[in-house]
Structure 1
Amino acid sequence: MRVVHFELPAEKPDRAVKFYQKAFGWKIEKWAGPMDYWNITTGPDSEMGINGAIMSNEGTIRQTVNTIGVGNLKDAAAKVIAAGGKRLSPDQTVPGIGYFAYFTDTEGNPFGLMQPDKNAT
């Protein structure tokens, strides 16, 4: 089985929506249902990946850690910082896998960025 959806809790969902749109260009739309929920489309269905949502945390403490695949870690990290995110770790080499770093978004949710590179040493 694979992860097919993620949910990101947010104290201020509108702020989180702006962050993810600016940092990653994700399409985010308010759900028409009975709760504060914004559906996230991270890319076209023809590409590997998952979609998810931003939801109001309504004071509940929850954290989700997801890893986001990127083509260039340094460029993606710069976009995260420009959008209001914070770096939690230096860039790390994962031999044979790629390059990785931890960040937080504007809501304090931790996430990782991974630049795949089978030749990483």
Structure 2
Amino acid sequence: MSRVIWFEIPADDPERAAKFYEDVFGWEIEKWEGPFDYWLIRTGSDEEPGIHGAIMTKDMGEVVRDTIAVDSYDEFSKKIEMQGGEMLTEKIEVPNMGYMGSFKDTEGNIFAIIESNMTETSTK
């Protein structure tokens, strides 16, 4: 079974949004050291049920987006389209993470899928 493993919250001002979620929910939020404006969110300890996520700038998307872990990106992208979903982005490799892309479901909701390559010793 595939599970939601990540969420992203779009923001005009990620720093302001980070302060809001820290103050309201007590989440731990820190700016990612990567090549774009992305803030990592820890929503609680790893022993508790729940998922972690991120805050991103609205130029990366304007809706809350969930990421779902799948065994095979190619298999699930075909299933999504066969069931009436729409591919929004091509499959991309995220270094040290896996292969992912964004889709729209039959109701217009946007989500991403990711196939992990964390166990691979070399990149494809």
Percent identity reads: 54
Q: Is 1:17 aligned to 2:24, yes or no? A: no
Contact 2:8–2:65 under 8 Å retained in 1: no
2: distance between equivalents of 1:28 and 1:37? 10
Which 4+ runs in 1 deviate beyond 4 A? none
2:31 corresponds to: 30
Amino acid at match of 2:51: I
Amino acid at match of 1:56: T
1: distance between equivalents of 2:34 and 2:13? 18
Q: CA deviation at 1:65?
A: 7.1
Amino acid at match of 2:38: Y
Note the alpha carbon deviations across 1:48-91, whole angstroms, 9 max, x for none: 10000001113x6622278xxxxxxxxxxxxxxxxxxxxxxxxx
The total of aligned residue pairs comes to 65
2:4 corresponds to: 3
2: distance between equivalents of 1:47 and 1:35? 29
Q: State the TM-score, normalizing by the size of structure 1.
A: 0.50
Note the alpha carbon deviations across 1:20-61, whole angstroms, 9 max, x for none: 000000000100000000000000000010000001113x66
Q: Is 1:46 aligned to 2:47, yes or no? A: yes
Q: State the TM-score, normalizing by the size of structure 2.
A: 0.49
Q: Which runs of 5+ in 2 are unaligned?
A: 67-124
Aligned CA-pair RMSD: 1.7
Structure 2 vs 1, CA of residues 51 and 2 (structure 1 numbering), >3 Å: closer, same or farther?
same
1: distance between equivalents of 2:27 and 2:64? 18
